[in-house]
């Protein structure tokens, strides 16, 4: 299969390319990237006025399988990813049972190979059963194919155990993705940011210091063990400054932010809208401003969705009892373009770096590039397409999003994985699945 992508704006942060060129793909491999390619091909795409970028990479996705297939599956989550322009996703371990042994890692890999339309990389839990008591067999899970360790959804509160987990991660050259929340500093039943808005709504709060204490702890521990540490879903001014200071010291610290944390504040939280409930919660407008500053100055390296699907029935509960989380795979790109590029916070190449080469480097995978000879994971983006977000159009099983009706610009038009279309002219191609 030979595919020629013509006249697109090639945005490839890995080579610092931002120029109109053509790309020739043959048998799943990028063969040429230059101007004026002429070749006999099976398919030609006119990408005039479009961005042609490396396939997007999301290092923080909840696919819910095994155990919660009514919310999402490996298959449906991969569809949602492809529609959003993602070609590689890392699935978090807080499933039922958790991804805490090699057998479950193998099950996920086998199912993804058969059913997923994008690359799926499992993340392993840090402790057995995510109980925070005993470290998993890291070596066995690395051999089975995990890309990272994380206790996401929970924090390893035993500092000595977390220190050993970081040492093991360093030994096997994988990163640790840290969910930073001191459970002892969260009000019992805490459901939103602790502040003036939580007082107004009489909803129990989650304080900023509950995040910042663990950010500080894990930065210290990672420095001692020389481990690559990624601070997940950073949400506060203080956390951003802690990462900034660590980077200034030359430490191997990365940080990711979810789109909802650079677009929304706790001012929009309403007790009758549980789609505004996520963990970490929406913070203050001041926190959002500092997150945006951190994106602009490079403190925050990665944009990750924290795609967390829940059924309508689960979310239809009193605010304090409803589950945390929102879906994000099908809105992330548009929010980045609308809120960051169009508002001159980031240039297009800076945005794409945070969604391609930066996450690839953090995880340690050979992706996020349009270099000749590499696998043809490619996304063609229409950056000016204007529309309103409609959750009923999502291909995810779940529709829990606070962005219903939001006016945005930008959408993936084509998504190629291994040189094959999985999204073509905005429509999914599911093949024999």
Cα–Cα distance for residue pair 152/232, rounded to 1 Å: 8
User: Does the pLDDT of residue 40 top 70, yes or no?
Assistant: yes
- pLDDT tens-digit map of 222-250: 999 999 999 999 999 999 999 999 999 99
Backbone angles phi, psi at 386, to 5 degrees: -105, 135
In terms of Cα–Cα distance, which of 252, 248, 206, 249 is closest to 231?
252
Q: Tell me the H-state helices in 32-144.
A: 74-83, 102-115, 138-144
Q: How confident is residue 430, by pLDDT bands cut at 50, 70 and 90?
A: confident
Query: 12, 306, 314, 382: which is the annotated catalytic residue?
Result: 306
Share of the chain above pLDDT 70, in %: 99
Cα–Cα distance for residue pair 394/69, rounded to 1 Å: 17
Q: Are 287 and 236 in contact (CB under 8 A)?
A: yes
Cα–Cα distance for residue pair 59/37, rounded to 1 Å: 34
What are the CA-CA distances from residue 108 to residues 52, 172, 237, 397 (Å)? 30, 21, 36, 18
Task: Supply the pLDDT for residue 431.
Answer: 57
Cα–Cα distance for residue pair 426/32, rounded to 1 Å: 25
- pLDDT tens-digit map of 166-196: 999 999 999 999 999 999 999 888 999 999 9
Cα–Cα distance for residue pair 227/252, rounded to 1 Å: 7
One DSSP character per residue, 37-48 reads -----SEEEE-T
User: Does the pLDDT of residue 433 top 50, yes or no?
Assistant: no
Segment (H or E) for 302 = strand 302-303
Cα–Cα distance for residue pair 215/319, rounded to 1 Å: 27
Query: Residues 302-323: what's their mean pLDDT?
Result: 97
Segment (H or E) for 59 = strand 56-61
- pLDDT tens-digit map of 51-72: 999 999 999 999 999 999 999 9
Cα–Cα distance for residue pair 399/148, rounded to 1 Å: 28
- pLDDT tens-digit map of 78-87: 999 999 999 9
Which domains are delineated in the chain?
A: 2-52+374-428 (2.30.40.10), 54-363 (3.20.20.140)
Q: Tell me the H-state helices in 208-341.
A: 208-225, 237-248, 259-263, 285-297, 312-315, 332-336
Backbone angles phi, psi at 354, to 5 degrees: -75, -10
Cα–Cα distance for residue pair 32/190, rounded to 1 Å: 54
> E strands, 147-208, where?
148-150, 176-178, 192-193, 205-206
Does 97 sit behind a cis peptide bond, omega within 30 degrees of 0 on the bond before it? yes
> E strands, 357-419, where?
378-388, 407-417
In terms of Cα–Cα distance, which of 280, 176, 190, 196 is closest to 238?
280
The pair of structure tokens assigned to 26 is 């043959």
Q: Are 199 and 186 in contact (CB under 8 A)?
A: no
Q: Return all residues near 169 (Cβ < 8 A) that are at least 6 apart.
A: 138, 148, 149, 175, 176, 225, 227, 228
- pLDDT tens-digit map of 386-419: 999 999 999 999 999 999 999 999 999 999 999 9
User: Does the pLDDT of residue 42 top 60, yes or no?
Assistant: yes
Q: Are 174 and 147 in contact (CB under 8 A)?
A: yes
Backbone angles phi, psi at 124, to 5 degrees: -90, 150
- pLDDT tens-digit map of 13-30: 999 999 999 999 999 999
User: Does the pLDDT of residue 331 top 60, yes or no?
Assistant: yes
Task: Supply the pLDDT for residue 423.
Answer: 98
Is 432 annotated in the active site? Answer: no
Task: Supply the pLDDT for residue 229.
Answer: 98
Task: Supply the pLDDT for residue 187.
Answer: 83
Q: Are 274 and 319 in contact (CB under 8 A)?
A: yes
């Amino acid at each position: 299969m030979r595919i020629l992508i013509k006249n697109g704006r090639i945005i490839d942060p890995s080579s610092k390319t931002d120029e109109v060129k053509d790309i020739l793909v043959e048998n799943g491999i990028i063969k040429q990237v230059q101007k004026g390619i002429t070749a006999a091909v099976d398919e030609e795409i006119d990408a005039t006025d479009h961005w042609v970028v490396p396939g997007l990479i999301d290092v923080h996705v909840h696919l819910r399988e095994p155990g919660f297939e009514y919310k999402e599956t490996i298959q449906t989550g991969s569809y949602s990813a492809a529609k959003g322009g993602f070609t590689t996703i890392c699935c978090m371990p807080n499933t039922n049972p958790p991804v805490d042994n090699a057998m479950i890692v193998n099950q996920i890999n086998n199912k993804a190979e058969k059913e997923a339309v994008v690359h799926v990389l499992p993340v392993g839990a840090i402790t057995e059963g995510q109980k925070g008591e005993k470290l998993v067999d890291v070596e066995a899970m690395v051999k089975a194919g995990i890309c990272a360790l994380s206790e996401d959804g929970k924090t390893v509160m035993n500092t000595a155990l977390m220190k050993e987990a970081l040492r093991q991660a360093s030994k096997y050259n994988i990163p640790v993705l840290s969910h930073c929340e001191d459970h002892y500093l969260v009000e019992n039943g805490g459901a939103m940011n602790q502040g003036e808005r939580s007082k107004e709504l009489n909803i129990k709060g989650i304080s900023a210091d509950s995040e910042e204490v663990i950010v500080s702890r894990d930065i210290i521990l990672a420095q001692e063990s020389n481990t690559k540490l990624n601070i997940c879903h950073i949400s506060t001014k203080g956390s951003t400054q802690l990462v900034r200071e660590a980077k200034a010291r030359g430490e191997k610290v990365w940080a990711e932010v979810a789109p909802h944390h650079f677009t929304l504040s706790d001012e929009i939280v309403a007790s009758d809208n549980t789609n505004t409930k996520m963990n970490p919660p929406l913070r203050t407008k001041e926190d959002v401003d500092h997150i945006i500053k951190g994106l602009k100055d490079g403190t925050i390296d990665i944009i990750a969705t924290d795609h967390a699907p829940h059924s309508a029935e689960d979310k239809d509960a009193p605010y304090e009892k409803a589950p945390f989380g929102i879906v994000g795979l099908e809105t992330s790109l548009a929010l980045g373009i609308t809120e960051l590029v169009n508002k001159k916070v980031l240039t297009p190449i800076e945005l794409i770096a945070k969604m391609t080469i930066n996450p690839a480097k953090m995880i340690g995978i050979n992706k996020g590039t349009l270099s000749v000879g590499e696998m043809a994971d490619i996304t063609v983006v229409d950056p000016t397409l204007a529309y309103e977000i409609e959750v009923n159009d999502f291909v995810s099983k779940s529709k829990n999003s606070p962005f219903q009706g939001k006016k945005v610009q930008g959408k993936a038009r084509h998504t190629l994985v291994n040189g094959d279309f999985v999204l073509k002219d905005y429509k999914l191609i599911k093949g024999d699945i």
